[in-house]
Amino acid sequence: MPRIGSTDAIDVWANQHKDKKLYIVLVSIHGLIRGENMELGRDSDTGGQVKYVVELARALGETPGVYRVDLLTRQISAPDVDWSYGEPTEMLSPRNSENLGDDMGESSGAYIVRIPFGPREKYIPKEQLWPHIQEFVDGALVHIMQMSKVLGEQVGNGQPVWPVVIHGHYADAGDSAALLSGALNVPMVFTGHSLGRDKLEQLLKQGRQTRDEVNATYKIMRRIEAEELCLDASEIVITSTRQEIDKQWGLYNGFDVIMERKLRARIKRGVSCYGREMPRMIPIPPGMEFSHIVPHDVDLDSEEANEVGSDSPDPPVWADIMRFFSNPRKPMILALARPDPKKNITTLVKAFGEHHELRNLANLTLIMGNRDVIDEMSSTNGAVLTSVLKLIDKYDLYGQVAYPKHHKQSEVPDIYRLAARTKGVFINCAYIEPFGLTLIEGCCLWSTYGCYPKWWACRYTPGS
């Protein structure tokens, strides 16, 4: 597969394959996945990966030469989640209809296909899905075989159109994709999103849990076993950063940076590798769908820009946030993340509470998913919210910290914009952040950044 180094290269590749009728299968089996109004941050399993796979499926569906994309996930019909997650099939409406060639066929486009597996009528956390992987694979095989036959009748001259690739996302879907790839003899690609060995290493460094406790909480050994299987089965592993290859995948038995280069050189020279194989690692940093972002051409340094409530009506979510502050005119420190312990939100609140000068200078806004009742959240998420509320009380931060219960996916750009409007900063202080979509999102909406030094350039302002 030629190295794709830029969007131009992708355009060239698409142009070379535009007459093809490719069928692509993506697999992402945990969390709540739907095409519109995603409930990102609702729980630990519904976050960046959900957004990544939906936007990837949509973009692939609009790529010339790609006829059909199926994003396979779990069908969830449970009283505590919206009925939309129980729909067997959902078409992902194209963002850019002009990209659609005239070869739109009856079954072409990008779809979410929901396969029933695991306890019926229950939405369960990803850690409890492992015993049900085989049931998912059985259901996915039936779907793929049926779809290949249907596509064959439409665009394959009666011959089944098999998937050209099966792309697994995260350990659980990667485990499934490896089984599907073997059963169908279709190449596999894998994206980890977050890796078990790195998570285990970081959690043990924190010293709060023993290895057995980490395993009991996160089923981390089964997850690592699946990731090792993905290394065995995958032709290509897509990573978000170079650091993920060197420092995270380098922890695995099935991958070694030096060995991979040597094997690739031997293959190039047509020399035997004595049966050793390793997947090719390709860093492709996550992008973002920008079509819904409305750039504001207001000069942030102008007086008008700093008037919250100037002539154009303020987005409603601004009032939901500003109502918490006794002095809403202060610059805002914004954190936006799932209320997962690894996002380290409690440390941010503690630092803010203990820094009196900072408290006089700025307000703190915490966007921590959507919640109705804390006691009805998952134990880990509920514990984070409870700790935050206790810290607000301990440091008497009332009137200085906003922690709204709800926000819509479509309001996220306005939330970043509010931070920018107040000349504030965005902070990502996660302990473990393989990439961090929120940093990309803020970039295109004018914010100054701070984030945990380990993962990202510590501070940068777009355009600086």
Q: Footprint of ligand F6P on this chain (CB under 6 A)?
A: 30-31, 45-50, 126, 170, 193-194, 199, 340, 342
Q: Is residue 365 at the binding interface for ligand UPG, with CB under 6 A as the rule? A: no
Q: CB of residue 360 vs ligand UPG: minimum separation in angstroms?
A: 27
Nearer to ligand F6P, 49 or 400 (CB): 49
Residue 440 token pair: 């990309």
Task: Measure the CA–CA gap between 418 and 422, rounded to whole angstroms.
Answer: 6
Q: Spell 427-463 as b/e; 16+ CB within 10 A means b.
A: bbbbbbbbbbbbbebbbebbbbbbbbeebbeeeeeee
Binding site partner of 239, from ligand F6P, ligand UPG, none, Cβ cut-off 5-8 A by kind: none
DSSP assignments along 270-322, one per residue: T---TT---PEEEE-------TT-------TTSHHHH-TT-SSPPPHHHHHHH
Output the six-digit token pair for 328: 């809403």
Least distance (Å) from ligand F6P to the CB of residue 321? 24
172 forms part of the interface with ligand UPG (CB under 6 A): no
Q: Which does 367 bind (CB under 5 to 8 A by kind): ligand F6P, ligand UPG, none?
A: ligand UPG
The letter for the amino acid at 86 is G
How far apart (Å, rounded) are the C-alpha atoms in residues 120 and 77? 7
By CB under 6 A, tell whether 51 contacts ligand UPG. yes
| Residue 436 contacts ligand UPG per CB under 6 A | yes
Q: Is 409 in the site for ligand UPG (CB under 6 A)?
A: yes
Supply 271's token pair. Answer: 């020399």
52 binds ligand UPG (CB under 6 A): yes
Contact partner at residue 171 from ligand F6P, ligand UPG, none, CB < 5 to 8 Å by partner kind: none
Asked whether position 438 contacts ligand UPG by CB under 6 A, the answer is yes
Least distance in angstroms from the C-beta of 382 to ligand UPG: 15
**Of the residues 23, 111, 325, 435, which one makes contact with ligand UPG according to CB under 6 A:** 435
CB of 367 to ligand UPG, least distance (A): 5
Under rule CB under 6 A, residue 244 binds ligand UPG: no
By DSSP bridging, strand 448-451 and strand 425-428 are parallel
Q: How many CB atoms lie within 10 A of CB 47?
A: 24
Nearer to ligand UPG, 64 or 341 (CB): 341
Sheet holding 401-402, edge to edge: 401-402, 363-367, 332-336, 425-428, 448-451
Supply the DSSP string of 426-456, one letter for each residue: EEE--S--SS-HHHHHHHTT--EEEE-TTTS
Q: Which residues bind ligand UPG (CB under 6 A)?
A: 40-41, 47-49, 51-52, 193-194, 240, 286, 336-338, 367-369, 409, 412, 433-438, 441
